[in-house]
Chain A
Amino acid sequence: MSSPEQVIQDVLADLPRHRGVVVDSPPGAGKSTLVVRAAAHIAATGEPLMIVAQTNEQVDDLVTRICERHPDLTVGRLSAGGYVPPLRLLELSGVTVGTRVQDLGDPDIVIATADKWAWISGRTWPWAIVDEAYQMRSDKLLRIAALFDRALFVGDPGQLDPFSIVDGDRWSGLSWDPLQSAVSVLLRHNPDLPVHRLPVSWRLPASAAPVVSRAFYPFTGFRAGTQPHERRLELSTGGMGTVHDRALEEAARSGWALLELPNRHTVRTDGEAVEAVALLAARLLQRGAVASSEQGERPVTAERIAVGAAHRDQVAAIRNAGVPPEITVDTANRLQGREYDVTIVLHPLSGRRDATAFHLESGRLCVLASRHRHACVVVARAGIAELLDAHPSAEPVQLGVPVKFPDGWEANQAVLDHLAAHRV
């Protein structure tokens, strides 16, 4: 495998040679760093650049990163009418915020969400960077593709596929299926475009990178950027020997823990599981976890902890169960692209009677299992392996649709298999 620096060099070298360049990035592999570097690289040529991200938070993050790294660049942040820029954005010099391109002056870089870009017309940019391009539905790309001549597409192929509330079967198999991701459609029409891969995850610890890589990136693979001894999680106060404490201790020691509840079919907002998740979160704070890594030593404060679940009602139930308010509690969809020290995950299949395509989607579990720098605690009811065995993927096979890897069923089994060794 080539070094990350080499990959970035190759990407930058490819930019002027092709109409489009795709970069696949596993979780925490320095995607944002790449975007910032490519942005500066293009801006240095003096040609205007547009950047497309998917959510307002992603846009704000990118603006902040670009301005911090390259204070000399001017950045225009396009937004919708109701948008209130966060304070950190207003403090940056060189950033203008506006709802129309004309209001921004003539900045080096204009950046907005794909939804906002879709309303812009009457001007084109020689360059574009599309961030989180695998999260973007191809119909969104269709609306904005006329705005740029050349583009760099960056994203994580292992995350959640875009979706729709309506049945899109009538388009499946078409090369421009609007429900496919922007990258899939782009590559189907332009198969000769170069695809690069970032080979190292800086986020995932050595305990997680091989697991996630094997389960969710079986063919492309990646490795951890740190050695096992470089990341340590310590609990500064002693435990009381409860299952919750033991789960936290196991997670601190090994990077993973599975808190298994008795096998039972439950409603989605399973009271016991919700309570366990909330208790774990509260207990983790009480026990004063300290994380040491290549970035130095710091306490694991509430902002560094996330709780993830599959459904919104589960998220609401967990929040109501008394999780300290500073801890992020959210669905897999919304945790995409975020990073924490410790995550606590309610397994999507916990307590279920069936395994639907929604719950089997490999991206969902991948997002939940790859947000952490130190440890991940999974809460699940026993019996998921049997549930999986009883529900092999039975989706109809559509003609003309490329086979998707990894298979959600298999990925789920692989993760479970690994977690079994860390059961409490």
Chain B
Amino acid sequence: MSLLTSLARLRALDERIAQPIATVRHCHLSERPMVLIPLRMSGEAAAPLAAMLGTRREDPRLLVVTQPRNRDLRFAWAADLAAELLPYIDGFLAGTETVERKNADPYERVLDAPQLLVPNQTGIAFIRLLGRSTRFRRADGPYPVPETVPLLGRWLTYFGERAAYPGSSLMAAATEELGRHWASGQSGLEDANLAALMAWITTGPSDDAEDPLVWPPAGPATDPGFDAEVLAPAIEAGAAERITEALRGQLEPTWRLMWQAVDLLRGLPEGASVAQRWEQDRGSFSAMAAHIAEGAPPQARRDGAVAAASRLARMERAQAAYEVQRAYDDPLVMAEYRLTGEAFAGEVVETEPEHSEGEGRSRKLRPLVVVKTDDPVRLAPGTALGTPQRRGQGAQLVEARDGLVTVKITKGMGRGKTPAPGSVPEVGERVCYTSLTDDFQGSPALPEAEATPWTHGGPPREYTPSDEDALEEWS
């Protein structure tokens, strides 16, 4: 935890209300998100019990497995879930735009993409498990399932994997997103309780959040008291109506919280780079849709050597970009870097806009800016700098001493003999410069999976669907 977040947490504890740690919203929020609250039967890793879902707060759909130990009923439930989710997903495939690419064919990208919102990280993990347990099923062979079930499995797997991708908003956990924007006065572990975190943000901490009778758990685990006293007797009695109504009672409070969380996040203005990351999400979603349309096999059970390395490279790059973008979008995030000496902010006290280097034809315009700052500057001379005030601009640290930092602008001030108007900050302007920059090199190519070298076990065996797939345990 960074120093500023620790401070915000202490202050939250002191003032009995959560403190903002972001000034803008760093995640995309869909106009029509699909809120999905899954519940699991306790004792099994991936046995669905119920789900409440929908895109309109006044119209939640409740799907229940009235006997969660019955596998046929589980698959029937999965088919019901597919009947809700697949049309929602398909609804985004109609509107597309053509995207031109360098060194590659243009492709079609959807104009908007679906967004699943679940209460917490464990909800995401459960969605991933659901995807894992359904995507290898088949509509023929032994233990056939409805055709939509394996398709649902592939989409759930996709959303689950995408949720681990830094900066992606295709599937988000409410507690995570809230925790990125507000610091409560409780521990990170306690923040995973949606009711507790919402209370900290809205009204101040409340013991009610710990009371499963007031705020039932946000899932996927259920309250053991509810399991023993309400659910088990109802299941034993085989009373489908009673089970459904009991589960509705468990889910409805969380449903209201989820939409409150959406409102809270919607109240924040969107960060400048959010649209760019959402564009990547849209591209990724389009690629997945194309993949399915081509009839490609379901995602592998495990990443092969090459797939793992390539995913790691993509995720590392996304993580680095996400961190930089967040800092550029949000002065409160940038403040963390100012504290560690990787950024500094202050007032421009002197400029030399027409300063240049070199002679004759190699003469280059290099405007100088002197910034007066109180921040601890821990950057070496020559460090490349960027600034949130002028995104395209590149600069270099010349000298830092006694609270005065000299910066040389190296990029983004025009090609003329004098800098383009507005490209050099004026005396008195407040500016911020940082060593975080968003220009990353591409990563070198990986071998094809069929050419996996001997050091990594050689080429992997190809996946062929078989009847064995249906015999896997689904628990």
List residues of A whose CB falls within 8 A of some B CB: 19-20, 115, 118-119, 121, 138-139, 141-143, 145-146, 164-168, 170-171, 174-179, 182, 185-186, 189-190, 267, 313, 316-317, 320
Contact = CB atoms under 8 A, between A and B. Distances in A.
Interface in B410-435: none
A121 B454 contact: no
A218 B376 CA distance: 43
B445 A121 contact: yes
B341 A176 contact: no
B457 A166 contact: no
A282 B458 CA distance: 55
Contacts of A316: 341, 378
A168 to B, nearest CB: 7
Interface in B302-332: 302-306, 308-309, 312-313, 315-316, 319-320
Nearest to A117: B444
Contact of A166 (B302, B304, B305, B312): B312
Instruction: Please indicate which of the listed interface residues B378, B444, B451, B455 has the most CB atoms of chain A within 10 Å of its own CB.
Output: B455
Contacts of B313: 139
Nearest to B314: A166
Contacts of B302: 174
Given A142-B455, A176-B457, A171 B378 contact: no
Given A165-B320, A166-B316, A174-B308, A138 B456 contact: yes
A164 B164 CA distance: 14
A19 to B, nearest CB: 7
Given A20-B455, A189-B454, A142 B341 contact: no
Nearest to A141: B455
15 contacts: A19-B454, A138-B309, A139-B312, A139-B313, A142-B452, A143-B446, A143-B447, A165-B316, A165-B320, A166-B312, A166-B316, A166-B319, A176-B305, A178-B312, A316-B341
A189 B453 CA distance: 11
B3 A267 contact: yes
**Interface size range on B against A:** 20 to 34
A143 B308 CA distance: 12
Contacts of B253: none
A121 B445 CA distance: 10
Contacts of A139: 308-309, 312-313
Contact of B340 (A118, A142, A182, A313): A313
A176 B444 contact: no
Given A166-B319, A313-B341, A189 B456 contact: yes
Nearest to B458: A189
A179 B312 CA distance: 9
Contact of B457 (A170, A189, A267): A189
Contacts of A20: 455
A328 B157 CA distance: 49
Contacts of B453: 142, 145-146
B455 A168 contact: no
A273 to B, nearest CB: 17
B204 interface: no
B445 to A, nearest CB: 7
Nearest to B6: A267
A57 B63 CA distance: 61
B309 A142 contact: yes
A320 B379 CA distance: 11
A178 B308 contact: yes
A16 to B, nearest CB: 17
B303 A146 contact: no
Instruction: Please indicate which of the listed interface residues A19, A20, A138 has the most CB atoms of chain B within 10 Å of its own CB.
Output: A138
Contacts of B316: 164-166
Given A170-B164, A320-B378, 14 more contacts: A19-B454, A115-B444, A118-B445, A139-B308, A141-B456, A145-B453, A164-B312, A164-B316, A166-B315, A178-B312, A189-B456, A190-B454, A313-B340, A320-B376
A176 B320 contact: no
A267 B453 CA distance: 46
A36 B205 CA distance: 65
A143 B313 CA distance: 12
Contacts of B341: 313, 316
B320 A177 contact: no
A320 B445 CA distance: 41
Contacts of B146: none
A63 B41 CA distance: 63
Contacts of A313: 340-341, 378
B212 interface: no
A20 B452 CA distance: 16
| 6 nearest CB pairs, A to B | A145-B453, A139-B309, A176-B305, A316-B378, A118-B444, A189-B457
B166 interface: yes
